[in-house]
Structure 1
Amino acid sequence: MDREQVVAKPKARGGELWDSLRTLVYAVLIALGIRTFAYEPFHIPSESMLPTLLVGDYVFVSKYAYGYSKYSLLFSPPIFEGRILGSAPKRGDVVVFRWPHDPSVDYIKRLVGLPGDRIQMREGMLYLNGEPVKRRRVEDFERRDRFGNLVERNQQWEETLPGDGRQPAVTYRTLDLYAYSGSDNTGVYTVPPGHYFMMGDNRDNSQDSRVALEVGGVGYVPADHLIGRAELRWISIEPTASLLKPWTWFSALRWNRMFTGID
């Protein structure tokens, strides 16, 4: 008995176009789902988080770390209030959040104060609930140009936020650019319920919660403005690279920072 041979009929041009369009729609939906519920990439444009994050770092931010608010969604639709399906952030987390003055603007800072905490700076030292946060002097932070020449040297400190029953101590590094800056001495900030206190690791070059919202600072950040926790640098590029000059891309990559965790 002859074996029956089955031959697939070629698809009409309209069918091929529909298949391609459907594949594109699926890919977009998957990308939006990952961005909304899992991880979102962010680019670091300023020096406020030196030495932890450099200009040109690209980081992945965990969206599920703190759950979801309307700001987790594309275009921030007001379909619900507060946060859902999340846990509270911890002191020492590096957090991406929406600027309370203009929620279309993203900021990245380190969370140093939880609701009810009292925060103060005295002579450049951070105080938490009346106690100085432990810190020690480490080697200077050196800025070099793309040829390796030393451009600037700044004091660097290792700071450790104390742990408690909920979390271990967190250690990271900060910069002190100026001996007597206006941000080295402040009043006492008492973090209100449902808000957080954010500071840049580059202590003398950061518009953060030490500066009132009314004068262009960050102020206290509401819980629903948190986007997520920065967890991974996936690529880092020197600002000298030019999009219009592809031959500069490879030499501008900071290979030692790629796919590294964020403390």
Structure 2
Amino acid sequence: MFEWIKSIALAIVIAIIIKTFIFDTTYVLGYSMYPTLHEKDRLFTNKIIYLIGEPKKGDIVVLEAPDDPDKDYIKRVIGTEGDLVEIKEGIVYVNGNPVKENYIEGDIYTHNDLKIKVPEEEVFLLGDNRVEGASKDSRYFGTVGIDSVNGKAFFRYFPFNDRFGMLK
């Protein structure tokens, strides 16, 4: 009986360590990342990746919401430290080059013309859903400190359909 209890306790401790420091799960609420992510998608998030590296352009990240610390947001990294991000006439540019955004739907117009240089230790984030008002992102709250980024979403484990698998 003691061995059985010891094995269960060890499994619980290992699970807590993994969930706290290495991997987590994320439940998607809302449509700010549509069509890449849909409401009620469930994702695995790598929490350790940004302890040993920094977010890269195109990463889908989970972050502490800058406007509500009780929430997490999920967004895509568009610009990293030192980049000049511009939105002109609905097109996103990084360092003067248009961003190839094959993850957004059709000819969606990216609202809110702006020009911003990403400060050190910060990132510029956008939701994939560019319909006006669909995403609270860096157009709304500005750049975000890398320390607010909790991890990289990398795998959709639910629903079990054609969207199951690695995220792009």
- Quick check: TM above 0.5? yes
Q: CA offsets, 1:24-81, max 9 Å, x none?
A: 43222111111123211111111100111111210001112111xxxxxxxxxxxxxx
Report what 1:206 is aligned to: 135
- TM-superposed deviation, 1:257: 2.2
Letter in 2 for 1:66: Y
State TM-score, norm by structure 2.
0.88
Greater RCO, CA 8 A, separation 6+: 2
Question: How do residues 1-263 of structure 1 correspond to structure 2 at under 5 angstroms?
Answer: 16=1, 21-67=5-51, 86-134=52-100, 159=101, 172-175=102-105, 184-204=111-131, 205-212=134-141, 219-236=142-159, 254-258=160-164, 260-263=165-168
The alignment partner of 2:137 has SS state of coil
**Bigger Rg, which one:** 1
* C-alpha contact (below 8 Å) 2:90/2:113 kept by paired residues: no
Q: Closer, same or farther in 2 for the Cα pair 1:178/1:94, shift >3 Å? A: closer
* Distance across 1 between alignment mates of 2:115 and 2:55: 22
Size of the alignment, in residue pairs?
A: 166
* C-alpha contact (below 8 Å) 1:176/1:203 kept by paired residues: no
The alignment partner of 1:224 has SS state of helix
RMSD between aligned residues = 2.1
Identical pairs, percent: 36
* Distance across 2 between alignment mates of 1:54 and 1:225: 23
Q: CA offsets, 1:66-111, max 9 Å, x none?
A: 11xxxxxxxxxxxxxxxxxx11111010011112333332111000
Letter in 1 for 2:24: E
- TM-superposed deviation, 1:176: 6.2
- TM-superposed deviation, 1:185: 3.7
User: Any stretches of 5+ residues in structure 2 without a counterpart?
Assistant: none
User: Any stretches of 5+ residues in structure 1 without a counterpart?
Assistant: 1-15, 68-85, 135-158, 160-171, 213-218, 237-253
